[in-house]
Amino acid sequence: MDLKGKRIVLGLSGGVACYKAAELCRLLSKEGASVQVVMSEAACHFITPVTMQALSGQPVYTDQWDGRIANNMAHIDLTREADAVLIAPCSADFIRKLAHGACDDLLSTLCVARPARVPLMIAPAMNVEMWQNPATQRNVATVRADGVHVFGPGAGAQACGETGLGRMLEPAELMEELIAAFQPKVLKGRRVLITAGPTFEAIDPVRGITNLSSGKMGYAVARAAREAGADVILVSGPTTLPTPHGVQRIDVKSAQQMYDVVMGAIGGQHVFIGVAAVADWRVVNASDHKVKKQEGASLDLKFAQNPDILASVASTTTLSGWPYCVGFAAESENLVEYGASKRIKKGIPLLVGNIGHHTFGSDDNEIVLFDDTGHTVLPRADKLTLARQLISEIAKRIEMNSLLT
């Protein structure tokens, strides 16, 4: 319930993407938000206010002269208690109106009349040529400069049959953007590199050795870092998880590939967080072709140690403390003792210990932070909540780091 108690004015302008606004409205309610829908006249051609009323559970406003509001000032009343105004879909024409401060219908007027503390967010949705038109781009630049949050648009096949930029982001992506907008920007301007998931060490072209890491914790940390305003690169072993919105993901399989990608990208990073469950060993006599079963024969595998990515990154730490390195450790016993010594062994300022190895695949976790002052327990919670707490702890420590250097 990331939007519990938040009051969102959901504005619909004209566009075929109005059908996605119905799903968005549902997701907003599911996350605990109360949704006040306002529709332009054009939007009512694409989807009916009846549908939006049923989904939001509140009367829908479409007309500046709607007499249902006692003082007849819907444009003022509807935004005074709001936490955000989100226009989805936002047409090229509506962006033009915003750029010029137009007040010629209820939706445009309430955008201009909203209190300065209420953020305005738009999800552009239009044909690719309309999006690329210099006039639209000028208007987008103007609204950005005015502080409007612009979510998307995405690229791909369009309802008109053409392909390119201009698709409204999917409702789930817009939810991620909206939720992120409410998170404190404690890592704004920072570059963060994160590893996540298991590694896969090949035995032959169709077989290999892996582990039970699902990648959920690493992906949650990547999402939380991005929500906090960082530029995030996620180097991921094989997982089935969707990429957090706005995160650059690089897929790898083996520990050696993960090492190569991380070492190639680490220059200029402010933070490195090694969440991946990296295999300690790889098969050195892996076969180029599928190993055939032979009656009575055994298979001898030889192993060599993989490079320790975290320790290697930590050894590149400059005198000014960058990149700030964070490791993860799953221990089945004596976590406090092992965690403290592992942090020192890896040469890192912060180590996150998982209590038990039950964390693999589960949706929640319980973690302990080890630094040079001792350890702190972050009690059991879902992985995204813990990831946000961890990011805030990292940000505090970086802040101290920057003050010292």
CB of 277 to ligand C5P, least distance (A): 7
Q: Of 17-25, 40-48, 162-170, 306-314, which part binds ligand C5P (CB under 6 A)?
A: 306-314
* Residue 390 within binding range of ligand C5P, rule CB under 6 A: no
Contact 155, 127 (CB under 8 A): no
* Nearest residue (CB) to ligand C5P, 122 versus 276: 276
Taking alpha carbons only, the member of 94, 88, 112 closest to residue 9 is 88
The residues, ordered by sequence, that sit 6+ positions from 70 with a Cβ below 8 Å of its Cβ are: none
Strand extents, DSSP E, 56-177: 84-90, 120-124, 149-150, 154-157, 163-167
Asked if 10 is part of the footprint of ligand C5P (rule: CB under 6 A), the reply reads no
Instruction: Spell out, one character per residue from 223 to 262, where the chain touches ligand C5P: x when CB under 6 A holds, - when not.
Output: --------------------------------x-------
> Which token pair is 254?
């083996």
Kindly state whether residue 309 participates in binding ligand C5P, applying the rule CB under 6 A. Answer: yes
Distances (CA, A) of 245 to 137, 177, 180, 251, 399: 23, 8, 10, 16, 26
160 catalytic, yes or no?
A: yes
328 binds ligand C5P (CB under 6 A): yes
- In angstroms, what is the minimal distance from the CB of 174 to ligand C5P? 32
Q: Which lies closer to ligand C5P via its Cβ, residue 45 or residue 357?
A: 357
Interaction of residue 329 with ligand C5P, rule CB under 6 A: yes
- The SS3 assignment for 354 reads strand
CB closer to ligand C5P out of 147 and 267: 267
Residue whose tokens read 């989805």: 88
Cα separation, 252 vs 275, in Å, equals: 14
Q: How far is Cα 258 from Cα 97, in angstroms, rounded to an integer?
A: 48
Q: Does 274 bind ligand C5P (CB under 6 A)?
A: yes
- Catalytic entry in 18, 90, 111, 160: 160
Which secondary-structure segment (H or E) carries 374? strand 374-382
Residues 6+ apart with CB under 8 A from 205: 287, 288, 289, 290
Tell me if 310 contacts ligand C5P by CB under 6 A: yes
Find the shortest distance in angstroms from Cβ 159 to ligand C5P: 43
Q: Rule CB under 6 A: is residue 195 a binding residue for ligand C5P? A: yes
DSSP, collapsed to helix, strand or coil, labels residue 175 as helix
CA-to-CA separations, 399 to 269, 292, 306, 371, in angstroms, rounded: 15, 57, 33, 15
120, 276, 350, 369: which one binds ligand C5P (CB under 6 A): 276
Does residue 192 interact with ligand C5P by CB under 6 A?
A: no
**Least distance from ligand C5P to the Cβ atom of residue 312, Å:** 8
Say whether residue 198 binds ligand C5P (CB under 6 A).
no
Q: Which residues are catalytic?
A: 160
Interface contacts to ligand C5P, rule CB under 6 A: 195, 255, 274, 276, 278, 280, 306, 308-310, 327-329
